[in-house]
Amino acid sequence: DGVGERRAKAERMFTLMDGFLKNDPLSLQKDILNHVEYTVARSRFSFDDFEAYQALSHSVRDRLIERWHDTHSYFKRTKPKRLYFLSLEFLMGRSLSNSVINLGIQDQYAEALSQLGFEFEVLAEQEGDAALGNGGLARLSACQMDSLATLDYPAWGYGLRYEYGLFRQVIVDGFQHEQPDYWLNFGNPWEIERIHVTYEVKFYGTVEEIDVNGEKHRVWVPGESVEAVAYDNPIPGYGTRNTLNLRLWAAKPSNKFDLEAYNTGDYINSVVNRQRAETISNVLYPDDRNHQGKELRLKQQYFFVSASLQDIIRRFKEAHNNFDELPDKVALHLNDTHPSLSIAEIMRILVDEEHLGWNKAWDIACEVFSFTTHTVVAEGLEKIPVDLLGSLLPRHLEILYQINFNFMEELKKKIGLDYNRLSRMSIVEEGAVKNIRMANLAIVGSHIVNGVSKLHLDTLKMTTFKDFYELWPEKFQFKTNGVTQRRWIVVSNPSLCALISKWLGTEAWIRNADLLTGLRDHVDNTNFHQEWKMVKRINKMRLAEYIEAMSGVKVSLDAMFDVQVKRIHEYKRQFLNILGIIHRYDCLKNMDKNDRRNVVPRVCIIGGKAAPGYEIAKKIIKLCHSVAEKINNDADIGDLLKLVFIPDYNVSVAELVIPGADLSQHLSTAGHEASGTGSMKFLMNGCLLLATADGSTVEIIEEIGSDNLFLFGAKVQEVAELREKGSTLKIPLQFARVLRMVRDGYFGYKEYFKSLCDTVEIGKDFYLLGSDFGSYLEAQAAADKAFVEPEKWIKMSILSVAGSGRFSSDRTIQEYAERTWKIVPSRCPL
């Protein structure tokens, strides 16, 4: 019979292919050399490190593909409810080490390579970062994909395959310059191009009324189309065979043969015009929290939404024939408002193409979507000018108006004719320029709205989303962010990883971070302390070498490595850090030589990118360099104080910097950082935090206790009041003094730094640097004091790691799965 025949055929195929790939060192060597010869097309007798990296990656990819196939046929067979994670940004960084570790064949590869005369770590350094995102939001997506795979959830990620990722930061003379990151120049061994998985994405045109079985239907007649091509990126879980897919779309000219365009006689120009389609997925927009409403950005968003939903609906229809089942089989997650056109698109598909009634379609949509916001302030929320949307997506605009009309009618029934509130909650913002408010759309069209920390949700409830919270309190949840311990300990800090496993007597914490609490049992053990200290020393050495290579500055390993790395933003207050460093320098200069013996030497490390159009942020970078130049060249100061700026901060730089830090700074004005995830990575690496009570720090304190970090600054409840005080606010003298030094040109560039200094002048200091300065200096002094008591410091460091389990993205993902997406693990059998 058919079944028997198919089985016999499958068995023959399996034996023909020699079963699955083998992972013993000899087999790995053969595979690597095969790829050298036939994939990289270099002679196996002569290839360099980069070529070895390429061949190595391809051999790893082969193994990922096997698991990918098994996972997907398993999902296809068992038909679990699936999560589709929609995000315009993913900061994946490098893939090699992470893949090999998650596959569990790290040692075999290391051995295989060493016999070939290569070192795994050296080859791993050949890989460039996949930087298809800006900052926290995008790295969170990457961590969450790792957790989804590890916890066996049936999920897919969807994103865009930008040809240019986040710009490269080059520092010339202390100024940031942006350079394009053409990351595909050297090929990308991790992706699988699916030339047959393509969809047409349409734009422009008009809406016409047609007759369907005697009923009038409005349908879109598009004017232009491009093609979306799928590129699949396998995401392996740790300790499981499950390997998920991150499908990224690239735009290509449409294959539809357009007779008109070619018959105009201008053949060459028609081809050139066609080629313009590719610009849609060309370049990632650098973080622009003050939304600009650019057409290309909107095109990107719709291109992404349309391709992803076509793919999702096609897969759904292959297995199910009734859209009533959609909410039982599909969860669609909106990572911020960027993909929220999905709501209008799914309505268009269900109503215009599948001919469902509007109300039924709307109920399905609301059940399927959930939404997470990553921002605090209303100004940060995305808006799209109605004119722009109407010309690019005329039918979607109609649908949005209809959604809004229905919502407004329902709202009036509930709250009456409170026109102020109605207009605040409307999806359409009226005014000189009419806008679509993407956050309002996402809230109205989703059944769950998530904040990214407890404090974040509390703030949203009281401010930005107050009206909506009062209407639908049950819709609002928070899922405190987390980071994956696989990348942030196992991959980036192998020494600490080994130490933790040794003292816990198990590696189980790699899949269950709660077990890290077991480290508390050894917090007084002096042998443990010795080993802990050694690990930090090793990581500091790595970092010191990097610093010297990047900046030429030699730093002392005995100094406290004090790090602030994140995007440069006024609210993150890197300026406060620099003013604190100036204060430290000023104190040293005025100190009696004898007293200097008691000073804790510091290496201050700052890194991060400023958005290209963000002038103040760029001035902060320049100031950091000017101050560094002064301090580092002051022979009188020597090792007591150094300041280095680490250029081009990205995921792989973070993997090096974070394990080497003693202290890390998280200085956002309370109420401005939705969560913060950098702090969690430092915490996991035994680095002490100096922080304000903002975002997720509040919850970190709950886990490790306020004795184990250095807290400072105004609390959220105090911020508004302090702002109201304006120019009557009390500012410490030291603040005025250091600011004066910058103003007076002590570090040069007097004119250039003027506007930066103006931002923190009394009465204008929105982020409250001046009023927090005194408390900041106290926290810094407390850190110095703790550092000279190594026993105390090490205990704090151990307790930080021991309390970091809650900040694993595994916990976050489990909460999302249970409380929002309603999906259950689906583990592919061996």
45-53, 152-160, 285-293, 302-310 -> range binding ligand T68 (CB under 6 A): 285-293
- Chain residue at closest Cβ approach to ligand T68: 136
Give min distance, CB of 668 to ligand T68, in A.
8
Q: How far apart are the first and last CA of the chain?
A: 27
Task: Give the x-and-dash track for 443-472 against ligand T68 (CB under 6 A).
Answer: ---------x--------------------
Classified as helix, coil or strand, 612 is coil
Q: Which of residues 140-169 bind ligand T68 (CB under 6 A)?
A: 140
What's the rounded Cα separation, in Å, for the pair 652 and 656? 7
**Residue of 127, 129, 152, 287 that binds ligand T68 (CB under 6 A):** 287
If the CB atoms of residues 673 and 784 are measured against ligand T68, the closer one turns out to be: 673
Give min distance, CB of 408 to ligand T68, in A.
28
- List the catalytic residues: 374, 566-567, 572, 677, 681
Task: Give the x-and-dash track for 755-794 against ligand T68 (CB under 6 A).
Answer: ----------------------------------------
**Residue of 57, 71, 134, 176 that binds ligand T68 (CB under 6 A):** 134
Q: Which of residues 468-497 bind ligand T68 (CB under 6 A)?
A: 481
Residue 202 contacts by C-beta under 8 Å, 6 or more apart in sequence? 220, 222, 223, 224, 225, 306
Give min distance, CB of 388 to ligand T68, in A.
17
50-58, 166-174, 287-295, 509-517 -> range binding ligand T68 (CB under 6 A): 287-295
Cross-strand partners of 384: 436
133-141, 197-205, 316-324, 512-520 -> range binding ligand T68 (CB under 6 A): 133-141
Task: Report which DSSP code applies to 483.
Answer: B
Q: Which two tokens stand for residue 734?
A: 């030291």
DSSP string, 301-355: HHHHHHHHHHHHHHHHHHH-S-GGGHHHHEEEEEESSTTTHHHHHHHIIIIIIS-
Residue 679 · residue 565 · CB < 8 Å: no
What's the rounded Cα separation, in Å, for the pair 254 and 262? 14
Q: Which of residues 712-751 bind ligand T68 (CB under 6 A)?
A: none
If the CB atoms of residues 141 and 485 are measured against ligand T68, the closer one turns out to be: 141
Give min distance, CB of 160 to ligand T68, in A.
13
Quote the longest CA-to-CA distance of the chain.
96
Q: Residues binding ligand T68: what is the number (CB under 6 A)?
A: 17
Q: Please choose, from the candidates 58, 661, 89, the residue with its C-alpha nearest in 3D space to the C-alpha of residue 338.
A: 89
Which helix (H) or strand (E) element contains residue 130? strand 130-132
Q: Can residue 126 be called a binding residue for ligand T68 (CB under 6 A)? A: no
282-290, 469-477, 698-706, 720-728 -> range binding ligand T68 (CB under 6 A): 282-290
What's the rounded Cα separation, in Å, for the pair 140 and 81? 23
Distances (CA, A) of 504 to 499, 517, 674, 700, 803: 9, 9, 33, 22, 14
Q: What are the respective helix, strand and coil percentages of the chain, to the nearest 5?
A: 55, 15, 30
What's the rounded Cα separation, in Å, for the pair 556 and 563? 15
Residue 367 · residue 404 · CB < 8 Å: no
If the CB atoms of residues 385 and 676 are measured against ligand T68, the closer one turns out to be: 676
If the CB atoms of residues 677 and 692 are measured against ligand T68, the closer one turns out to be: 677
Residue 114 contacts by C-beta under 8 Å, 6 or more apart in sequence? 120
Q: How far is CA 444 from the centre of its chain?
A: 25
Mark residue 416 as left, alpha or beta (left: phi above 0; alpha: psi -120 to 50; beta: remaining): left
If the CB atoms of residues 404 and 481 are measured against ligand T68, the closer one turns out to be: 481
Q: Which of residues 298-357 bind ligand T68 (CB under 6 A)?
A: none
What's the rounded Cα separation, in Å, for the pair 647 and 167? 12
Give min distance, CB of 140 to ligand T68, in A.
4
If the CB atoms of residues 455 and 796 are measured against ligand T68, the closer one turns out to be: 455
Give min distance, CB of 291 to ligand T68, in A.
8
Give min distance, CB of 609 to ligand T68, in A.
11
If the CB atoms of residues 601 and 671 are measured against ligand T68, the closer one turns out to be: 671
Cβ atoms within 10 Å, residue 42? 18
If the CB atoms of residues 150 and 481 are measured against ligand T68, the closer one turns out to be: 481
Q: Which two tokens stand for residue 454?
A: 């407890």
Q: Which of residues 626-685 bind ligand T68 (CB under 6 A)?
A: 673-677
**Residue of 75, 84, 85, 135 that binds ligand T68 (CB under 6 A):** 135
If the CB atoms of residues 674 and 783 are measured against ligand T68, the closer one turns out to be: 674
Q: Which of residues 22-51 bind ligand T68 (CB under 6 A)?
A: none
**Residue of 137, 443, 628, 719 that binds ligand T68 (CB under 6 A):** 137
Give min distance, CB of 61 to ligand T68, in A.
29
If the CB atoms of residues 204 and 476 are measured against ligand T68, the closer one turns out to be: 476
Residue 222 · residue 202 · CB < 8 Å: yes
Give min distance, CB of 277 to ligand T68, in A.
24
Distances (CA, A) of 605 to 552, 560, 570, 735: 14, 10, 18, 21
Q: How far is CA 692 from the centre of its chain?
A: 22
Give min distance, CB of 694 to ligand T68, in A.
9
Q: Can residue 289 be called a binding residue for ligand T68 (CB under 6 A)? A: yes
Give min distance, CB of 481 to ligand T68, in A.
5
135-143, 228-236, 601-609, 733-741 -> range binding ligand T68 (CB under 6 A): 135-143
DSSP string, 145-194: HHHHHHTT--EEEEEE--SB-SPEEEEETTEEEEE--BGGGG--TT-EEE
129-137, 432-440, 488-496, 812-820 -> range binding ligand T68 (CB under 6 A): 129-137
Q: Can residue 202 be called a binding residue for ligand T68 (CB under 6 A)? A: no
Alpha helices (H) in 384-493, listed in sequence order: 386-392, 394-415, 419-425, 438-445, 454-462, 466-471, 485
Classified as helix, coil or strand, 555 is coil
Residue 414 contacts by C-beta under 8 Å, 6 or more apart in sequence? 471
If the CB atoms of residues 225 and 337 are measured against ligand T68, the closer one turns out to be: 337
Give min distance, CB of 696 to ligand T68, in A.
7
Cβ atoms within 10 Å, residue 22? 14
Q: Which of residues 75-114 bind ligand T68 (CB under 6 A)?
A: none
Q: Can residue 374 be called a binding residue for ligand T68 (CB under 6 A)? A: yes
Q: Can residue 695 be called a binding residue for ligand T68 (CB under 6 A)? A: yes
Q: Which two tokens stand for residue 763?
A: 């009465």
Residue 576 contacts by C-beta under 8 Å, 6 or more apart in sequence? 667, 769, 772, 773, 776
Q: Which of residues 557-616 bind ligand T68 (CB under 6 A)?
A: none
Give min distance, CB of 364 to ligand T68, in A.
28
Task: Report which DSSP code applies to 594.
Answer: T
If the CB atoms of residues 98 and 675 are measured against ligand T68, the closer one turns out to be: 675
167-175, 267-275, 281-289, 704-712 -> range binding ligand T68 (CB under 6 A): 281-289
If the CB atoms of residues 133 and 805 are measured against ligand T68, the closer one turns out to be: 133
Residues that bind ligand T68 (CB under 6 A): 134-137, 140, 287-289, 374, 452, 481, 673-677, 695
